Amino acid sequence: MKYIITGGQGFIGINLAKYLLSKNHKVLTIDKMSYASNSNILKKKKNFLLKKVDICKTKEIKKIIFKFRPDFIFHLAAESHVDNSILNSEPFIKTNILGTYSVLKSFHEYQLKLNSKAILLNISTDEVFGSITRGKFRENNRYLPNSPYSASKASADHLARAWNKTFKTRVITTNCSNNFGPYQNKEKLIPKIINNIIKDKPVPVYGNGLNQRDWIYVKDHAEILYKLSKKGKIGETYNIGTKNVVSNIKIINDILKIYNQKFKKKKKLKEVIEYVEDRKGHDFRYAIDNSKIKKLLKLNNKNNFKKNLIETFDWYFKLQIKNIN
């Protein structure tokens, strides 16, 4: 099979590319290689190609798709950091909305002319649902985005739905919980906690630190996306999560415990955190109901959070050592 991944040098994209290559599929990633992109570590891999292109350049995107002739496209390209969207929303509007339009338009033409059975998976976020006090997000929850980032992703989801309903474009949308694992940008929560604790820098904590997120290991997410590309129903949306809802302050404490188990110099929670002014429009809690996709893919209750957190800590620690040397 042949797969295109937009944003393929990003955090989730590069983990997904590695997974697909391990299955001996042909993979082409499209990435404009921004500050959040990883270096081309896969360039020597068999069956791998990278095209350095902004997804907003529709003619170039269309040309790549028509030439490569993919069976599936995973649309992951996005500006994703909430804080950055509050400081400057324009890149989010451009990439997440206009970029998605560009990909949908190009894919629709490709589907009509060359491959009517190809599928585009629009990879989105649970943040489009806003904040939930109790219970869990289901696929039929109303969209109530509270940040420029989540609003731009909600817009992208609506475009994907519209192209499916109006033009019969073969699109599936997923809304996933917070990912963590290797290759995530240092500005994100878990990499920042790990790096700051190791470097003896304070870990900034918004508000009281009790905000909760549903966490999934990125490699588990990649596996689920692959299975969904085979079994997902066109026009449907699927929530992806692990029912692992944890507060930010607990995440910091869990990582601190890992650090203390590995190093002689012990640290206490109160010594590493620094409370800062809360984020504007900060959602308090996300929680995913994954029963729909769990039933479809016959997923097991895979939730090795502590084990995966240790693996993530080790990966970032080794990366720091590598950068020093």
> Which pLDDT tens digit goes with each residue over 41-66?
999 999 999 999 999 999 999 999 99
> Which pLDDT tens digit goes with each residue over 80-132?
999 999 999 999 999 999 999 999 999 999 999 998 899 999 999 999 999 99
Q: Is the pLDDT of residue 322 over 70?
A: no
What pLDDT is stored for residue 324 in this prediction? Answer: 57
- Candidates 31, 79, 126, 157; catalytic one: 126
Give catalytic status of residue 149 as yes or no: yes
Cα-to-chain-centroid distance, residue 160: 17
Residue 243: pLDDT band with limits 50, 70, 90: confident
> Which pLDDT tens digit goes with each residue over 131-177?
999 999 999 999 999 999 999 999 999 999 999 999 999 999 999 99
Beta strand pairing call for 203-206 and 119-125: unpaired
Question: Which whole number is the average pLDDT over 204-227?
Answer: 96
Q: Is residue 126 a contact partner of residue 286, using CB atoms and an 8 Å limit?
A: yes
- Candidates 149, 217, 286, 316; catalytic one: 149
Question: Which whole number is the average pLDDT over 248-271?
Answer: 96
What pLDDT is stored for residue 302 in this prediction? Answer: 66
Q: Is the pLDDT of residue 215 over 70?
A: yes
Give catalytic status of residue 126 as yes or no: yes
Q: Is the pLDDT of residue 247 over 90?
A: yes
> Which pLDDT tens digit goes with each residue over 265-305?
899 999 999 999 999 999 999 999 999 999 999 988 666 99
Residue 325: pLDDT band with limits 50, 70, 90: very low
Give catalytic status of residue 274 as yes or no: no
- Candidates 127, 214, 220, 283; catalytic one: 127
| Residue of 163, 82, 89, 84 whose CA lies nearest to 126 | 82
What pLDDT is stored for residue 45 in this prediction? Answer: 93
What pLDDT is stored for residue 320 in this prediction? Answer: 80
Rounded Cα gap, residues 79 and 24, in angstroms: 29
Question: Which whole number is the average pLDDT over 235-241?
Answer: 97
Alpha helices in the chain (DSSP H): 11-22, 58-68, 82-87, 90-92, 99-113, 148-167, 189-198, 218-231, 248-262, 269-272, 291-297, 305-324
Superfamily of domain 2-178+218-242+283-302, CATH level 4: NAD(P)-binding Rossmann-like Domain (3.40.50.720)
Residues 6+ apart with CB under 8 A from 71: 1, 2, 3, 115, 117, 118, 119
pTM of structure: 0.96
State the average pLDDT for the chain.
96
The domains of the chain are located at 2-178+218-242+283-302
Residue 31: pLDDT band with limits 50, 70, 90: very high
Q: Is the pLDDT of residue 214 over 80?
A: yes
